Amino acid sequence: FLTMSTSLFLFLTLVGQIMAKKPPDLQCMVINLEYVNCSWNLQETPDVNYTFSSRYVSKDQSSCAEYLLENGINIGCRRPYNYTRRQRFDTFYTKLSDGSQVFQKELQLKTKVKLNPPTNLTVKNGSDFNLWFYWNQTNPKCVDSEVRIRINNSDWEILSVFHKQSYCQKLPSSSSRYELQVRSKLKYDCGDSEYWSDWSEPVVWGFNNTTDTNIRNNGISVWTAVLYAAGATTLILLVMILLHKNYLFSFFFKDWFHFPKGLIKDGFNSTFNERACTVSEYQPVSRSDSNGSDSSNLTTSTDQTDCSITIAGDGAGLKASV
């Protein structure tokens, strides 16, 4: 009889251990340094409504004021978090109970911080011809960020961005499409965290752009700027050549306007030569004075030279009689 009683006791103990409820998988996280979110449905939705209470070390236990529900069953609790007191560095005590059983747990929340995704992600084509992405972040001094970028729907490339709220894509191609997202977490100097935020909403720039929100493409493309610079340089060189070489005028226009050859050649020369001419005068002789004179003296010859003015030209000259 004693043996049967012992066997029955051991059987009931074993069955009781098998039938006992498994402790819920309770996890807590500090969300964006604003509140503590605790949940106990990571494995499955519980079949009973647990009541939840919690406290920090040296504080009184407080009941949950805001439960998270799933199909009418309590699956979590949200409680306030005091950022100014840096409560995440204190031990956090939790208690779940269903009336017949109580489950208690101690948690360290120092590295259990999950920030909200960065917001207001924008893109701008800068004056340096690079592509600049900007975003806003809660408490940026304590945050490290990562960006992931893909070009023309290729695979994502993840890059670290330390102590900044911007990312530069050098010399983007105007024929490509760039898509970028950002995520962040608390850096080591501020207590570190093992959780990254979710990725932000994407921002898109470039060819075949299908996202217009938060895009500020105020600059000009690289090739447009290069063409402007080349055109301006060419124009300046042409003006310098025209000012320095006046013979280009004759080269381009002499067949159009048919200027005299000498004028085209020397037309821009401000000096010319004038040859002096000799002029002789004669005086009239009265008839009374000519009576006693020889008839050969009636006519007084003049030594009047044919006067010509020569304008310097190509050797022939232009003559004008005086």
pLDDT of the residue at 249? 53
Which of 10-14, 49-53, 87-91, 104-108 has the least mean pLDDT? 10-14
213 or 52, greater pLDDT = 52
89, 57 Cβ separation under 8 angstroms = no
Burial class (CB in 10 A: 0-12, 13-18, 19+), 48: middle
Structure tokens at 6: 């012992």
Which residues are CB-neighbours of 91 under 8 A, at least 6 positions away? 56, 57, 106, 107, 108
The CATH number given to 116-206 is 2.60.40.10
Q: Per-residue b/e over 169-204, b at no fewer than 16 CB within 10 Å? A: beebeeeebbbbbbbbbbbeeeeebeeebeebbbbb
106 or 255, greater pLDDT = 106
Q: 91 has which bridge partners?
A: 108
pLDDT of the residue at 143? 92
pLDDT of the residue at 148? 97
Compute the distance between CA of residue 210 and CA of residue 245 in angstroms, rounded to an integer: 55
In the three-class reduction of DSSP (H, G, I as helix; E, B as strand; rest coil), residue 16 is classed as: helix
Residue ranges of domains in the chain = 23-113, 116-206
Specify the pTM.
0.58
pLDDT above 60 for 175: yes
The CATH number given to 23-113 is 2.60.40.10
Structure tokens at 173: 């191609």
Question: Do 23-113 and 116-206 fold alike per CATH?
Answer: yes
Structure tokens at 193: 């965290």
Which residues are CB-neighbours of 105 under 8 A, at least 6 positions away? 26, 93, 94, 95
Compute the distance between CA of residue 126 and CA of residue 133 in angstroms, rounded to an integer: 10
